[in-house]
Chain A
Amino acid sequence: MINFSLQEANPMLAPEYIPLAILFILATALGFLVVIIGNLFGPRRPSIRKAMPYESGMRPIGVGTRRTPVRFYLTAMLFILFDVEVIFFLPWAVVFRELGLSGLIEMGLFLLILLIGFIYAWKKGALEWE
């Protein structure tokens, strides 16, 4: 099951990625094409009023990109922690049958550490949105 050939080690050599590259190029072309079409056919009558950021008719106070609430940073950090752990589950799941009981126990320990961190974050109030 786990055999690393040269082709699998170097994805650029694997033929299954060529169709993906073709699709990606075509999708990029389509995306830019739509923007270009819009630029070609749309009228262009700029004015100061139109260039103002839309804030429901109010005159904007200060710049648009202001300091962001710290909650978002906290969410991003928690996400990175847990998402990396999710990524570890994927290869484990592929070879789970071969690992058998020892695989389950090892993942149980990993999950336990993950859960301790999760419960700590929960109790600390990191999951509350204030």
Chain B
Amino acid sequence: MDWFLILEWVIKAVILLLFLTAGFAYVTLFERKVLARIQVRIGPNRAGPQGVLQPIADAVKLIFKEELSPKDADKVIFMLAPVITVIPALVITAAVPWGRSINLFGREIALGITDLNVAALYILAVTSISVYGITLAGWASNNKYAMMGGLRASAQMISYELGLGLAFVPPILLAGSMSLVDHVETQAAMGIIRWWLYQPLGPIIFLIACIAEVNRAPFDMPEAEQELASGYHVEYSGMKFALFFMAEYIKMICVSMIGATVFFGGYLGPFVDQFPILGPVYLFIKVVGILFWMVWVRATSPRIRYDRLMAFGWKIMLPAALFNLTFTAVLVLLTGA
């Protein structure tokens, strides 16, 4: 076994985890700033210049908070649920490539944790696991609000997962592979416009399903403040609450990374052929773009009623995704692409 290879893997894993955790901290600030600007406010500006130290202040505050657990809660599951929620969020992007391989210290280093040949399946599987943590949190809290929030969250996530899963099929069909590296390289070969023309509804279905998947506005029924206090994490405080928050924002970054890779060219951009190191930069820019869109949607649209939300998932998203899939298959067969 090559020890340098293992060292390389460990370093890349640490880089990804640091990027996601630091990204989480600054996405919260980014969201508050953008929301504030859209609502003609200034937003956090006290901690550090322009409020850049705000996430650190929040973290310090949460570390020194008391951790409560309700009387008849299932103590073990109550403690494990936030951890179970955050692990899938941290590992879901393992299959996403950051760029083509670069030469560093005389070694060929692939940018990305790993290139799985079942990447799409892996992403769907890990997304499903993240439902468990939320459901268990709601169940273990021994609280009616939490129970209801957890159930709503799991029902909503599994309903939109169908659309999400079916949105992955046309790219697999076009690339002839589940590997996300192959998806990006096929986009490079086909051109991004042709990639979209083959699956006109794909990106839209994926983005809508993603917002529902991370339980964000306008699909944030599990956390509806007016009726459920705050949903599945109502009994959580301190760092355990921070873990749920962390999982939600890291999942935002993750679905943006996956969406950018599958539908918006991933690490592709001008001059990326000559300088492969630009790959991660382009990916980062695209991720920030999608994150901005997510915050924009939250600032603009009101919350959808729960029955309409489920009806939308089953009666519009699922048929649309099936149509999209059939369209791609027929077009590929007709054009012989």
Contacts and interface: CB of A to CB of B under 8 A. Distances in A.
B203 interface: no
A129 B176 CA distance: 38
Contacts of B64: 41-43
Q: DSSP class of B's interface residues: helix, strand, loop or mixed?
A: helix
B145 A38 contact: no
Interface string A31-54: 110110111011111100011111
Contacts of B224: none
B126 to A, nearest CB: 10
A128 B141 contact: no
Q: DSSP class of A's interface residues: helix, strand, loop or mixed?
A: helix
B66 A44 contact: yes
Contact of B330 (A42, A71, A104): A104
A16 B116 contact: yes
Interface in B122-140: 124, 139
Contacts of B297: none
Interface in A1-47: 1, 8, 16-20, 22-24, 26-28, 30-32, 34-35, 37-39, 41-46
B67 A39 contact: yes
Contacts of B283: none
B43 interface: no
A96 B176 contact: yes
B28 interface: no
A51 B72 CA distance: 8
B117 interface: yes
B162 interface: yes
Contact of A55 (B14, B87, B143, B318): B143
A120 interface: no
Interface residues of B, number: 85
Given A27-B87, A43-B64, A54-B145, 14 more contacts: A31-B86, A31-B87, A32-B83, A35-B243, A42-B239, A43-B66, A64-B146, A79-B158, A83-B165, A86-B166, A89-B169, A94-B178, A95-B176, A115-B322
Contact of B162 (A22, A31, A72, A83): A83
B79 interface: yes
Nearest to A24: B91
A46 B124 CA distance: 41
B315 A127 contact: yes
B176 A97 contact: yes
Sort A-B residue pairs by CB-CB distance and give the 9 closest, nearest first: A38-B239, A129-B307, A64-B142, A27-B90, A31-B83, A93-B172, A93-B173, A86-B165, A19-B9
Contacts, number: 217
Interface in B159-181: 159, 161-162, 165-166, 168-170, 172-173, 176-178
Nearest to A95: B176
Given A83-B158, A90-B121, A94-B177, A35 B333 contact: no
B134 to A, nearest CB: 13
B318 to A, nearest CB: 7
Contact of A90 (B14, B70, B120, B242): B120
A63 interface: yes
A43 B229 CA distance: 24
A8 B116 CA distance: 11
B26 interface: no
A100 B266 CA distance: 29
Contacts of A107: 329
A127 B15 CA distance: 44
Given A26-B17, A104-B329, A72 B155 contact: yes
A111 to B, nearest CB: 7
A116 interface: no
14 contacts: A16-B114, A18-B6, A23-B94, A38-B238, A38-B240, A41-B63, A42-B63, A51-B70, A82-B162, A83-B162, A87-B165, A94-B172, A129-B311, A130-B307
A1 B144 CA distance: 52
Interface string B162-204: 1001101110110011100000000000000000000000000
A35 B239 contact: yes
Interface in A74-93: 75-76, 78-79, 82-83, 86-87, 89-90, 93
A130 B113 CA distance: 45
